[in-house]
Amino acid sequence: DAKTTQPPSMDCAEGRAANLPCNHSTISGNEYVYWYRQIHSQGPQYIIHGLKNNETNEMASLIITEDRKSSTLILPHATLRDTAVYYCIVKWNYGGSQGNLIFGKGTKLSVKP
Amino acid sequence: GAVVSQHPSRVICKSGTSVKIECRSLDFQATTMFWYRQFPKQSLMLMATSNEGSKATYEQGVEKDKFLINHASLTLSTLTVTSAHPEDSSFYICSAREIGGSYEQYFGPGTRLTVT
């Protein structure tokens, strides 16, 4: 079972920041927070991951609360091409079954002009 | 880097026949490859995990005799859907985990299987 809870859908205006929340209240100390997205009829695409510190890369920022029970993925300037289903996943960062990516239902983000 | 390819991207087969899907890691070696299935409007569901040279580990409810997985090399895994039925029609996605890397999983573009 997925260990995360995400809203099923969100809208965002083009050019504005998209803030996607994720609850993972049962996260264990060794589990990382990963974000992937899936554009329609394509394979998932890695976005970002983190353990406890906030992370930023060319695609997005990841803000993890101090208690690590929730996080927010921020797309700073959403474009129409960011329309996709976004998955928040918690997992161990090593090989083995606890390191497998198990997908929940995700959040369908619709970026509107 | 870290590109995973799948072939074919789309296949239509008749009920009762078998179809093979290939998954290749193009620029890295993968200790572990994963096969997922995705039905319309649903999330990805992990079917099985395969390690090079070993038997695949199937998730609960996935028939190992129906979904044959071979991971013969560090860059190739195949999924064969045997005796396909219309209910096997789905989007099949593979992913690969790099040897000695940061254990990231890279995904292929998926294969759309339609069984008529």
Q: How high is the pLDDT of residue A30?
A: 87
Strand ranges inside B14-103, DSSP E: 19-25, 30-38, 45-51, 57-58, 67-73, 76-81, 90-98
Q: Which residues of B fall within a CB distance of 8 Å from A97?
A: 49, 57
Average pLDDT of the residues in A34-40: 95
Which of A46, A99, A103 has the CB atom closest to B44's CB atom? Answer: A103
Q: In this complex, do B46 and A101 lie within 8 Å of one another by their Cβ atoms? A: yes
Nearest-angstrom CA–CA distance, B91 and A13: 30
Q: Which residues of A touch B107 (CB under 8 A)?
A: 43-45
Q: Does B7 touch chain A (CB under 8 A)?
A: no
Which residues in chain B are closer than 8 Å to A100, comparing Cβ atoms?
Answer: 34, 46, 49
The pLDDT averaged over each successive group of 10 residues in chain B (116 residues) is 92 97 93 94 94 89 95 92 96 89 83 97
Per-residue pLDDT of A44-62, as tens digits, reads 999 999 999 899 999 999 9
Q: Are A102 and B106 an interchain contact pair (Cβ–Cβ within 8 Å)?
A: no
DSSP 8-state code for residue A53: S
**Cβ separation B32–A95 shorter than 8 A:** yes
Q: Is B45 on the interface with A (CB under 8 A)?
A: yes
Query: Which of B32, B44, B49 is the closest to A44 by Cβ?
Result: B44
The pLDDT, as a whole number, for residue B105 is: 86
C-beta neighbour count of A94 within 10 angstroms: 11
The answer to whether B103 contacts A95, with C-beta atoms less than 8 Å apart, is: yes
The distance of Cα A96 from the centroid of its chain, to the nearest Å, equals: 22
Give the closest-approach CA distance of A28 to chain B in angstroms.
Answer: 18
d(CA A79, CA A16): 8
What pLDDT, on the 0 to 100 scale, is given for residue B98?
81
User: Taking a C-beta distance cutoff of 8 angstroms, is the pair B26, B108 a contact?
Assistant: no
Confidence of residue A38 (pLDDT cuts 50, 70, 90): very high
Which pLDDT score is estimated for A59?
94
- Which of B23, B32, B42, B44 is the best residue to mutate to test the A interface, defined by the most A CB atoms within 10 Å of its own CB? B44
Q: Tens digits of per-residue pLDDT, A53-100?
A: 899 999 999 999 999 999 999 999 999 999 999 999 998 877 677 778
